[in-house]
């Protein structure tokens, strides 16, 4: 049957969506089957188990996920341009995670918070490469920094980006929907990139407005 493979795929797709937006426990196997126009027993038939289906869905998520991200950063560019580019792409993916068909990223995010047995492959093939890439970029800024510092730097970059996904519901309540709206991809990319580059001592910190403060603060820091 050719429909066998097709059903399997539909199940995987439906499972991905369901797991992504409800989590493993709250996802209903029946709902998945209905979405996939398949029988209730299909999941057990094709995957044996709810958990095995979940793992398959997560693997599928990163398998069919973004692959050309590595090339997104121009290897010939300067380190600051590379970092800016990395942030733009990473942030772009994070902010786009609201899209209904973007269950792959949402699923990966869930794995970030609550790693399951599926996350080994996920880390190996999807997360670590990007993490290493980021570290290679950062290494160019601090060639002699110890590993610990490099890790912390990488987490500082990633943490700022991910926060807009993680804490979005709360952020929205804190600064209002229009406040969130104002923090669009363009602005945030520039903000975080500038923030990090300034922290790395590459570019002057932000706008003129901060200049005066900088002086004041610097003197107070010196005291």
Site for DNA in 47-66 (CB under 7 A): 48-51
Query: Per rule CB under 8 A, is residue 23 in the interface with a second copy?
Result: yes
In the shown chain, the binding pattern of residues 76 to 95 toward a second copy, with x for contact by CB under 8 A and - for none, equals --xxxx--------------
* Interface pick for a second copy out of 131, 133, 136, 185 (rule CB under 8 A): 131
Residue 13 interacting entry, from a second copy, DNA, none, C-beta within 5 to 8 Å by type: none
Query: Per rule CB under 7 A, is residue 1 in the interface with DNA?
Result: yes
- Residue from 95, 77, 101 nearest 21 by CA: 101
Query: Per rule CB under 8 A, is residue 111 in the interface with a second copy?
Result: yes
- Residue from 128, 136, 138 nearest 193 by CA: 138
Shortest distance in whole angstroms from residue 118 CB to DNA: 15
- Residue from 42, 8, 35, 38 nearest 21 by CA: 35
In the shown chain, the binding pattern of residues 55 to 74 toward a second copy, with x for contact by CB under 8 A and - for none, equals --------------------
Q: Hey, is 67 helix, strand or coil?
A: coil
By beta-carbon proximity to DNA, the closer residue of 34 and 200 is 34
Query: Per rule CB under 8 A, is residue 151 in the interface with a second copy?
Result: yes
State the Cα–Cα distance between residues 65 and 10, nearest whole angstrom: 16
Residue 28 interacting entry, from a second copy, DNA, none, C-beta within 5 to 8 Å by type: DNA
Cα Rg for the chain, rounded, in angstroms?
21
CA distances from 159 to 53, 68, 174, 195, 210 (A): 30, 22, 19, 13, 24
């Amino acid at each position: 049957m050719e429909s066998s493979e097709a059903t399997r795929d539909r199940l995987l797709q439906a499972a991905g969506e369901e797991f992504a937006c409800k989590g493993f426990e709250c996802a209903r196997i029946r709902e998945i089957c209905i979405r996939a126009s398949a029988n209730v027993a299909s999941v057990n038939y094709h995957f044996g188990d709810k958990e095995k289906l979940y793992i398959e869905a997560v693997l599928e998520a990163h398998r069919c996920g973004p692959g050309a991200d590595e090339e997104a950063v121009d290897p010939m560019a300067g380190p600051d341009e590379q970092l800016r580019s990395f942030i733009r792409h990473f942030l772009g993916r994070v902010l786009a995670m609201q899209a209904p068909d973007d269950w792959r990223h949402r699923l990966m995010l869930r794995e970030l918070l609550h790693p399951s047995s599926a996350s080994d492959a996920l880390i190996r093939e999807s997360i670590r490469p990007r993490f290493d890439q980021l570290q290679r970029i950062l290494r160019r800024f601090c060639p002699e920094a110890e590993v610990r510092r490099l890790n912390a730097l990488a987490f500082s970059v990633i943490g700022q980006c991910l926060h807009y996904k993680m804490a979005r519901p709360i952020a929205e309540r804190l600064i209002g929907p229009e406040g969130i709206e104002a923090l669009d991809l363009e602005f945030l990319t520039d903000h975080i990139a500038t923030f990090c580059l300034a922290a790395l001592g590459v570019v002057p910190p932000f706008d003129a407005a901060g200049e005066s403060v900088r002086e004041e603060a610097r003197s107070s820091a010196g005291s």
